[in-house]
Amino acid sequence: MLDIKMKTFCEVLEQLYKKVLSGTILEDDSHDYVFYLNPALSNQDCSAASSLEWLNTDAVPGQHQLPSIRVSTIPEAPVCVKRHSQMSDAQEMMLLQLTVIKVMVTRILSVETEIHAKEKYRDVIKILLQSNEIDSKLICMFQNSDKLLSHMAAKCLALLLYFQLREKIMLSNSWIAFCQKNLSGYSESDEAIHCLWTLTAVMKEIFKDTCSEKAEILKQFLTPFDTTLEVFYDSLFVQHFKNCQKLSRIINSLVCFLELLELLIASRIYLKLHCKSQRILFLKPSCVLDVLTWPIQAFVKRKLIIFIKKCLLYKVGEDLCRGSVPAMISPDHHLDTDMLALANAVLQAVHLGLLKTLSVHRKPSCFGGDEVQPGCAYLCGPDHVILRAASLITMKSLEIKFQSDTSTNEMKVDLHRFMSELLTFLKPHLQPSLQLHNPCEWLSRVFIEQDDDMLEAAKASMGIYLKLTRECEATKRLTQEKEMWIRHTHENGYNPHCIFLFFLKNIGFDSTVLLDFLISSETCFLEYFVRYLKLLQKDWDNFFTICEFFDASESQYGINICGCVSSLVQDRSTNSILPHHLTAPNSHKKGHAWVTRASGDSSEPLNQVVISKETHTMGDHSLSSPQASHSLVDYEDSDDSEAESTDQCLVKSEQTSLHQEAIKKIQDPAALSRDKKEFNHEPQSWPLIAKESTTSFIDCEAAPNNTVSEARIFYRIIKCFKELQDAICRLQKRNLFPYNPAALLKLLKGTEALCSKSVSPL
């Protein structure tokens, strides 16, 4: 008799699973389905009841026999569990019950489910929640020794909690009490980990939802745990490993809690929600930073430092929020204040020797583990994830701090101190050593494998430079002080012109790469490039001088400009001075003769490069075109702004779909046939006058032979900018550029005008 009942029970569950998976409407009474979905637990250890206990229907009030549910043949659907001829294992049956509940709730939340089927599923789940204390049973399953059953129980509970929030059903007191009890102080039990995991899972479901009430739903969910999470934060980060019985549990708790912290901060940024629990990191940031000094596995430190980096870059939770977050977020001054507190804590930790405690020597990653057998040699370089993250959090923290009311002298002292710390930290891991090359090269070498981080670091470096430059201009410092200031930017590795030149060198002066960056939304290149073009027009003399020095270094020391530039800044211990031509403002007018002497080339004056007649006929009226309203940044209006932070990324709502098509049509058929090799500096028969062109850039390919040889890196940049402008114009004419580039083209035109003056006859 028991075998028949068990077989019937299994058949009903399997049929129910297949129906729900395919979205079929349920035809029987909802209470009958609830009977089959209600898990039976042993009262002793919260484990699955035995087959005899399971089918003891007298234990269910009002039920004296199995409810009659029609078992019919339905279209086959993919099944995630193996079907057995006879399921006698109650543990496996319970897993199937949890799977059906999970799929049913997922179907309710899906927009693809047919409305009548969704209503029936909703009715079943509501009855299950009201009459059977399903949440208490799922909580009890957390303690089950079967890890799969315990994990499935946590997933089901998270979905049921989210269902209650969506349906405006009050959360059960048993669940709230369970979390408050286990998170009121750190303990080495698994219950705290299950609480953290469930909280995180519910928050992820809220983020993924497309409804407009996400902020209200999340506030309702977090309010009971505001104080509890703060207490857990304090208790977790004061742990000492020598007192821990099980190291794995505290690491699991730490990893789970970091994930929850990231979602809490993300909800503050994207949902504009303000709860006490969202500020716990910013109120006591040193607690988290101290973990980097703990004797724990490298992956935990790596996860932690990446978390800090995401916070400082306002990128926490970006994977969950992508696609639903507006391109521009209204400023939150309270959040900015909290970020300043975090930045100050990072700088304080660096000052106390944080970088020296970071271990960047990683073990090899192999399928068989990270241990190398005796006699097997391996080559394993530094952990570039740690190098990049440590560099970026230092740079970003300096930028955030300098945006506050900090005096010029204090900024210079801090900049020298922390950049010296950073370069000292990086020096042993960058070969060849930075002391033989331009210190500004550190950025392109550290971030060469991570474009988004490289551009964030370059943007932060430029923000620091612009802030200090404005302060120096406001005080009207003497020429000698300006020379010292320029030298300081090189010695400490944050000169924006050097950084940009090394960036172009890394991409081979390829305009198509720049175009790809401009179209893509995965980096901040647009904002960085706009800032740099605006800086370039104001700081043209220094830029031109640096270009000349790069060329002179190549000729004098035999070093390729596409590689490293030696003797730009000698090791600080030699107390040597930067060449006057590099540090003196307005020195580019004398630079031509100096470059000629260094290279041994002819000292003939530069021949004029004639610009096309259309150079100044490209009307600025394009800025007032109807498409201009689609531009998020008005570069013309922000020219006089003191804060460069207004140059945010443009709205690219269509760029995902247009990206591939635009890249395919960057060049016309004639342009596609061009030779794309690097710019050749060998003597050629260059025409003295450029051909008429519809673009307003200098035709660097028509530059005289001696001009190219005397300032070749300068002309490679001109060539790159010219090709970029041509490509943007072609895409704009075909309506393939994902946003209005008129203002960007205007900035490129301004750079072109400066180019024409720089190559005029002396």
Between CA 604 and CA 595 the distance in angstroms is: 12
Helix (H) or strand (E) holding 290: helix 285-290
Tokens of 424: 């000292």
pLDDT band at 428 (very low <50, low <70, confident <90, very high): confident
pLDDT band at 731 (very low <50, low <70, confident <90, very high): very high
CB 426: neighbour CB atoms within 10 A? 22
461 exposure class (CB count in 10 Å sphere: 0-12, 13-18, 19+): buried
- Region of poorest pLDDT, from 657-661, 717-721, 741-745: 657-661
**Which residue from 691, 698, 726 is spatially nearest to 609, judged by alpha carbons?**
698
Taking residues 274-290, report their average pLDDT: 92
Taking residues 217-223, report their average pLDDT: 93
State the greatest distance between any 2 C-alpha atoms of the chain, in Å, as a whole number: 108
Between CA 547 and CA 568 the distance in angstroms is: 12
- Residue 298: what pLDDT? 84
CA distances, 436 to each of 264, 431, 546, 557 (Å): 45, 10, 17, 12
Higher pLDDT residue, 503 or 131? 503
Between CA 619 and CA 350 the distance in angstroms is: 51
Higher pLDDT residue, 708 or 309? 309
**Which residue from 431, 450, 451 is spatially nearest to 441, judged by alpha carbons?**
431
User: Cis bond leading into 432, ω under 30°?
Assistant: yes
pLDDT band at 575 (very low <50, low <70, confident <90, very high): very low
Taking residues 57-70, report their average pLDDT: 48
Between CA 33 and CA 160 the distance in angstroms is: 17
Query: What is the average pLDDT value for the chain, to the nearest integer?
Result: 74
- Residue 43: what pLDDT? 55
* Cα dihedral value 367, 371, 372, 374, nearest 10: -140
CB 603: neighbour CB atoms within 10 A? 12
State the distance between the two ends of the chain, measured CA to CA, in whole angstroms: 107
Give per-residue pLDDT as tens, 73-106. Answer: 434 434 444 444 334 467 888 999 999 999 999 9
Chain center to CA of 494: 22
- Residue 272: what pLDDT? 85
Taking residues 102-111, report their average pLDDT: 93
- Residue 46: what pLDDT? 58
- Region of poorest pLDDT, from 74-88, 336-350, 404-418, 511-525: 74-88
DSSP 644-705: GGG-PPPP-TTHHHHHHHHHHTSS-HHHHTS--SPPP-S-----SBPPP-SS-S--GGGS-H
**Which residue from 72, 67, 71 is spatially nearest to 31, judged by alpha carbons?**
67
CB 39: neighbour CB atoms within 10 A? 23
- Residue 476: what pLDDT? 61
Give per-residue pLDDT as tens, 363-422. Answer: 555 555 555 556 555 556 788 899 999 999 999 999 999 998 778 888 989 999 999 999
Percent of the chain with pLDDT over 70: 65
State yes or no: pLDDT of 274 exceeds 80. Answer: yes
**Which residue from 405, 361, 406 is spatially nearest to 383, judged by alpha carbons?**
361
